[in-house]
Structure 1
Amino acid sequence: MAPSGAVRHAAGSPGRAGVPVRAVTRTLSDDPLGGTVRRTVLPSGLRVLTEAIPAMRSVSFGIWVAVGSRDETGPQAGAAHFLEHLLFKGTKKRTAMQISAEIEAVGGETNAFTTKEYTCYYARVLDEDLPLAIDVMCDAVADSVLEPADVETERGVILEEIAMHDDEPGDEVHDLFARAVYGDHPLGRLISGTEETVTPMTRRQIQSFYRRRYTPPQIVIAAAGNLDHATVVKLVRQALRGTPLDTDPAGPAPHRAATPAVRTRLAATVVEPKETEQAHVILGCPGIDRTDERRFALGVLNNILGGGMSSRLFQEIRERRGLAYSVYSYASQYADSGLFAVYAGCAPGKVDEVLELTRVELRRVAADGVTADELARGKGMSKGSFVLGLEDTGSRMSRLAKGELLYGDLMPVDELLSRVDAVTLEDVNALAAELLSRPMSLAVVGPFEENAFAVSR
């Protein structure tokens, strides 16, 4: 086993100036709570990370692409999600049936998802079937043919998915809130696109998006479980050989070059009139981006305000007054922006009271801060949820990929726990005073008129 930080090189093809001509491998950590983490950068710029956990009998394998809905222009809205559907529909080597049947025949599972900043394709299989999973998944992501008939079939599927989403007001309200804060910026759009953008989208547009955006420097491959890193790298290179991702070395692609600067609105109210039995409301404001050093304090503050059954909002709104079944706060963080919000689902006639109690509690925490007992409880929740979330290979695979894709680094578990431990009462109270004093936006789905709610802090 190479010592931590060791660098090994494998032969590769010549490259341009400043670009590695050989695969470069480093051991990132030997984590006592997990296994050995290694990272290899191929000459093309594609990165492979693994965590070897010999005690497991399974492996989770994922291909992560630094492309999401915020990378689309207005007419392209929904292209990343459309493409996610299409990449399982067939390649030069396999039909859609073969892609799914080969994995299911060994008891494995595959899936994919699109977010605003990245797309993930993954499989979970027995350790002995990892070579198959690598071959199938790399084939699907790297060499899909995007048959015109499949484009039309999946267009219908996606339009049904959009319609289904519209029938879920508890989901729809989150998209309304993003629109309230970000307006027409890509972060304020639906990940799926809309009927107006998906219906006219052509195969040529999707194909162009695919080949321009799915390039090796934008891709991270991650795997966790009972595996050998060198074998995974070898299998990945074999699976990509002869595909569009088997390219000569090139400089890293500009990250989100087409994405406009984030603009947020000071305060806005968006109401979706809908005859529902329950009203769904979100009150919140712009937050902090994911690299902000205060993100650990924000996690603690979020736990205190609405992160569990012992949180202030849950106790005040549900336990003491019985005004809502579901009430919680959450934080979303992006490369250059973020959101902080409170959600509640309640009877339409109780919305005004729920909103007033929420505003009062947010103002109270902004002005008076939190207590030492709340700080300890909030830190314990952060640490516990993180460690408990590492109990399966899928979550460990995701941690590797997100660390590399979003931060360019993998923070060791012990360091992350130490960063949470280091959060002070002053840190949380200072953040609360700033964040919770910002103008608040409101999103509502329910049986109301569009002008039923005035913008309020």
Structure 2
Amino acid sequence: MVAALVLLHGLQIAAAEPVVETFDNVCQVAVEVDRTRPVASFRVYVRAGSIYEGEHLGGGITHFLEHTISEGSRSRTLAEIEAELDTLGNTYNAYTTKDHTCYYATTSGDQIGRLIDVISDFVLHPTFPADEVETQRGIIQREMAMVDDEPGRRIADLTYETVFSAHPERYRIIGYPSVFNSITRDDIVKYHSRLYVPDNIVVAVVGDFDGEAVLAQLREIYGSLPRVPPPAVQLEQEPEQITARRRVEDDPRVSRAYMRIGWPTISLFSEDLYALDTLSGYLTGGDSALLVRRLRDELGLVDSIASYSATPAYDAGHFGFAATLDPANLERVEQEIISAIEEIKRTPPPRREIERVLKQVEAGEIFAQETAEGRASTLGANLLLVGDAKFNERYVEGIRQVTPGQVRQVGRKYFAPDRMNVAVLRPPVGEA
């Protein structure tokens, strides 16, 4: 840990403080010069995710758009885009989440201007060629079929559909064929024009380059965009859960059982964020964690056990457990998890366990900032989700302040039996 802290100190000396600028059109950019390596990373975040799909909710139009956006722009054909990205290192990629989409790549520091130009061109000015839209439709349809064959993805989808009965958080990002198949090219064009507006865009650039030159380029590309207010989006709120829910699916394609147990909790802005994350680390964070040691190593009841505290920047968080196990152990493992929660409600975890979790968080933070890609990812996400470029530092400080009593308190506050949700994917009874 000491060596890691020394390394971080050295990196901080070589990296300048990020320059964060909000343009008149409300687009935000963060630029950080880092001379430790001759590389640079560029990321464009757009506040467009599956929960914002409106009339296309459940169709995966956000993900569909992400697939088709780089197929051509006003000034470049698909072949020209691919050729240019190839000369820049061929690292371009993208992903879609429930609340945002990100386009990103890394290249040598001296080529960052070209990378910014080509990616910004197709993100802001795509043409969505009709033939390429249909090509990507077929690719996504095959991806949907693959998702249906992946038990890990399916139990995740089943969990969200169980924990959330009304909030759009319940819909899977890739969408469902019945809605997806009806989405047209015109729908994609309109969706892009509504959501890909300056208010919804955050840009992060980190690496070995002339910071003033990069900032000037971003001002020219993004600062010159006309301000277009994003559409007002009313997310359906989740009603208060008053009874426990359970969903079990039998599938002859699986030989093990996949179980998730979850409780609705908080958003990213709650002060309970830190205690819930600490609770998760205490229960399953590492080989020595309570439930890993008890359920996997001592009792041999699970192949794997994990927990997580999902806290998005909107009111649809939940705390969950995920286990893979022999179907015969489902009831026993569920009771063991509930017993662990009840134990925490009675007796707070030892201080040494809180300190163990803190060390894990500090180490993770150090390693996340070691590369230009990691630093750009942190900066961009901080600005997009919280509006604070240094939220990651504030987060670690929040973990440092957690007490055993606060962990017990969130256990009592959120883990009520009538708010529990159980999702199970298992082989048909008698076939395991």
- TM-score relative to the length of structure 2: 0.90
Which letter does structure 2 place at the counterpart of 1:370?
A: P
Query: Sequence identity of aligned pairs in percent?
Result: 28
Match of 1:311 in 2: 289
Match of 1:78 among 60, 83, 107: 60
Which letter does structure 1 place at the counterpart of 2:349?
A: V
1:323 aligns with 2:301: yes
Which letter does structure 2 place at the counterpart of 1:161?
A: E
Match of 1:300 among 272, 278, 281: 278
CA distance in 1, matches of 2:212, 2:247: 52
Are the counterparts in 2 of residues 54 and 226 from structure 1 also a CA contact under 8 Å? yes
Cα distance, 1:360 vs structure 2: 1.5
Cα distance, 1:208 vs structure 2: 0.9
- Pair 1:415–1:204, CA change in 2 (3 A): closer
Match of 1:269 in 2: 246
Cα distance, 1:364 vs structure 2: 1.4
Which letter does structure 2 place at the counterpart of 1:441?
A: N
CA distance in 1, matches of 2:191, 2:47: 13
Match of 1:429 among 364, 388, 408: 408
Cα distance, 1:58 vs structure 2: 1.1
Cα distance, 1:309 vs structure 2: 1.4
Cα deviation 1:265-290 (Å, max 9, x = unaligned): 44211222212111111011112110
Which letter does structure 1 place at the counterpart of 2:278?
A: V
Task: Give the match's secondary structure for 1:87.
Answer: helix
Are the counterparts in 1 of residues 47 and 99 from structure 2 also a CA contact under 8 Å? yes
Match of 1:63 in 2: 44
1:349 aligns with 2:322: no
Which letter does structure 2 place at the counterpart of 1:447?
A: P
Task: Give the match's secondary structure for 1:93.
Answer: coil
Which letter does structure 2 place at the counterpart of 1:446?
A: R
Runs of 5+ in structure 1 lacking a partner? 1-29, 450-457
Match of 1:362 in 2: 341
CA distance in 1, matches of 2:92, 2:329: 42
Cα distance, 1:239 vs structure 2: 4.4
1:186 aligns with 2:165: no
Match of 1:398 in 2: 377
Task: Give the match's secondary structure for 1:442.
Answer: strand
The structure with more helix, counted as a fraction of residues = 2
Cα distance, 1:74 vs structure 2: 5.1
Which letter does structure 1 place at the counterpart of 2:238?
A: V
Match of 2:421 among 435, 441, 452: 441
1:39 aligns with 2:12: no
CA distance in 2, matches of 1:88, 1:264: 41
Cα deviation 1:120-139 (Å, max 9, x = unaligned): 01111111110111011101
Task: Give the match's secondary structure for 2:319.
Answer: strand
Cα distance, 1:264 vs structure 2: 5.7
Task: Give the match's secondary structure for 2:71.
Answer: coil
- Pair 1:33–1:283, CA change in 2 (3 A): farther
Cα distance, 1:105 vs structure 2: 1.9
Are the counterparts in 1 of residues 275 and 399 from structure 2 also a CA contact under 8 Å? yes
CA distance in 2, matches of 1:424, 1:301: 11
Q: Comparing 167-176 with 43-52, which one deviates more in the overlay? A: 43-52
Cα distance, 1:187 vs structure 2: 0.3
Cα distance, 1:262 vs structure 2: 3.4
Which letter does structure 2 place at the counterpart of 1:281?
A: M
- 1:3-402 correspondence to structure 2 within 5 Å: 34-73=15-54, 75-76=56-57, 77-239=59-221, 246-249=224-227, 253=230, 257-263=233-239, 265-266=241-242, 267-275=244-252, 276-334=254-312, 335-402=314-381
Match of 2:3 in 1: none
Cα distance, 1:299 vs structure 2: 1.6
Runs of 5+ in structure 2 lacking a partner? 1-10
Are the counterparts in 1 of residues 15 and 35 from structure 2 also a CA contact under 8 Å? no
Are the counterparts in 1 of residues 165 and 238 from structure 2 also a CA contact under 8 Å? no
CA distance in 1, matches of 2:13, 2:24: 31
Task: Give the match's secondary structure for 1:109.
Answer: coil
Task: Give the match's secondary structure for 2:70.
Answer: coil
> What root-mean-square deviation, in Å, do the aligned CA atoms of Structure 1 and Structure 2 show?
2.0
- Pair 1:48–1:122, CA change in 2 (3 A): same
CA distance in 1, matches of 2:406, 2:13: 29
Cα distance, 1:31 vs structure 2: 5.4
Count of aligned pairs: 414
- Pair 1:33–1:432, CA change in 2 (3 A): farther
CA distance in 1, matches of 2:68, 2:381: 23
Cα deviation 1:241-278 (Å, max 9, x = unaligned): xxxx843345x536x62322234644211222212111
Are the counterparts in 2 of residues 383 and 420 from structure 1 also a CA contact under 8 Å? no
Cα deviation 1:420-453 (Å, max 9, x = unaligned): 211112222211221233521011112147xxxx
Are the counterparts in 2 of residues 286 and 337 from structure 1 also a CA contact under 8 Å? yes
Match of 1:8 in 2: none
- Pair 1:121–1:98, CA change in 2 (3 A): same
Cα deviation 1:280-307 (Å, max 9, x = unaligned): 1101111211011121222211100112
Cα distance, 1:229 vs structure 2: 3.0
Are the counterparts in 2 of residues 264 and 286 from structure 1 also a CA contact under 8 Å? no
Are the counterparts in 2 of residues 284 and 442 from structure 1 also a CA contact under 8 Å? yes
Which letter does structure 1 place at the counterpart of 2:245?
A: A
Cα distance, 1:33 vs structure 2: 8.5
